[in-house]
Amino acid sequence: MTSTIHLTTYLPEEFSPIRWTNNQLKLLDQRILPLDITWLTYSSAETVAQAITDMVVRGAPAIGITAAYGVVLSAIEHNRSILDGDYSAVMKDINILAQSRPTAINLFWALEQMEQVLKTSESADTIERLIQAAIEIHQQDIQFCHQIGDHGAGLLSPNSTVYTHCNAGALATGGHGTALGVIRTAFKKDKIKQVFAGETRPWLQGARLTSWELTQAGIPATLVTEGAAGHTMKSNPVDWVIVGADRISADGSAANKIGTYNLAVLAKFHGCKVMVAAPSSTFDMTIDSGLDIPIEQRPFTEVTQYKDHQIAPTDVIASNPSFDVTPPELIDAIVTEKGVILSPTKEKLLAHFQ
């Protein structure tokens, strides 16, 4: 039996998967999108950390924003100790949040910002200041995505065909998106002819999330399987591969969803350019080489099973790295809220952020 899925819930243009209301955090459950639109409510840092680990919320900037609100929830829960000048319970929760996922540097960046606010507030106004700081991190990310969109779209020629991977859209950020921010802005400027979206095994962010965002925005999109990338580039000239990043090291290497490196290698062979779109919170200038970026290994059952349904033999050995690293020599442009870095090098990155 086949069933036809008609999605009647439309995303408003300015859409965020994260909401802060009445001192509670609401997250759009991304594990079941686009078929089910379910908002889950959180009131403790520990459950927020679990939500990040479990992929309720995902995408580097969105993880950072969520963790910032998680710190607020911790401060609300431990208000009494805070009023006594004791921040140890919140620091413990910050540590728990920091262990939720290892690759996206935005997580650690946001937690550092929040820790700074925690340590520099008067105990009576700590919660208010933490709420303001988290909202600011959230709003700033949306603003940065729009700036990234403008800068990135400037690199595209009219009638461009682009290829994206995973989901670096509104769902992965505060709103609007990084790679999808570029595509959204370029589409409005009549520069996009066609977008290919890779399905992105094993969580299918491309199939479930990116193709949803693109179709909702009315952008011509074709969903392709991972293995079809080479054939697609060979038969339909692609101008740009446009992706996001979870961490960019000082040499300009970019860690992003597993399979990004494959696309960059293919892009080189087929003469299409590679753009990495990311806000400044994605840069880790303490790491000199992409080889040192920590790569998350997720449970092997994500590969041997589809949801609860087993698809591989019980005793097979499976590997499930969640990210790979694309070296700078395969990247034509890194786009941030500040502008464009062409053919990235350490010197160019340092000059960009001066």
**Residues designated as active site:** 246
Cβ-contact 78, 90 below 8 angstroms: yes
Strand-pair partners of 297: 321
- The minimum distance between CB 82 and ligand MRU, in angstroms, equals 31
Residue closer to ligand MRU, measured from CB, 78 or 257: 257
Residues 60 and 172: beta-carbon distance below 8 Å: yes
Q: How far is the CB of 104 from ligand MRU (least distance, A)?
A: 6
- Determine the Cα–Cα distance for residues 108 and 114; give it in Å rounded to an integer: 10
CA distance 183 to 215: 12
Nearest approach, Cβ of 202 to ligand MRU (angstroms)? 10
Minimum Å distance from CB 248 to ligand MRU? 11
Question: How far apart are alpha carbons 327 and 146 in whole angstroms?
Answer: 26
Rank residues 77 and 302 by Cβ distance to ligand MRU and give the closer one.
302
Answer whether 66's CB lies under 8 Å from 41's CB.
Answer: no
Alpha-carbon gap, residue 7 to 353, rounded angstroms: 42
Number of neighbours of residue 19 by Cβ within 10 angstroms: 14
CB nearer to ligand MRU: give 60 or 142. 60
Long-range contacts of 264-268 (CB under 8 A, 24+ apart): 264/326, 264/330, 264/331, 265/330, 266/229, 266/230, 266/233, 267/163, 267/233, 267/238, 267/241, 267/330, 268/330
Q: What residue ranges bind ligand MRU (CB under 6 A)?
A: 58-61, 104, 166, 168, 172-173, 178, 205, 243-246, 256-257, 322
Least CB distance to ligand MRU at residue 156 (A): 18
Q: Cα(324)–Cα(256) distance, rounded to whole angstroms?
A: 6
> Residue 113 CB, nearest distance to ligand MRU (Å)?
18
Give the residue with the Cβ less far from ligand MRU, 60 or 72. 60
Residue closest to ligand MRU when measured from CB atoms: 244
* CA–CA separation, 117 and 189 (whole Å): 40
Which two three-digit tokens encode residue 212?
């949803």
Closest to 73 in 3D by CA, of 50, 55, 104: 50
Q: Smaller CB distance to ligand MRU: residue 74 or 256?
A: 256
Nearer to ligand MRU (CB atom), residue 133 or residue 325 = 325
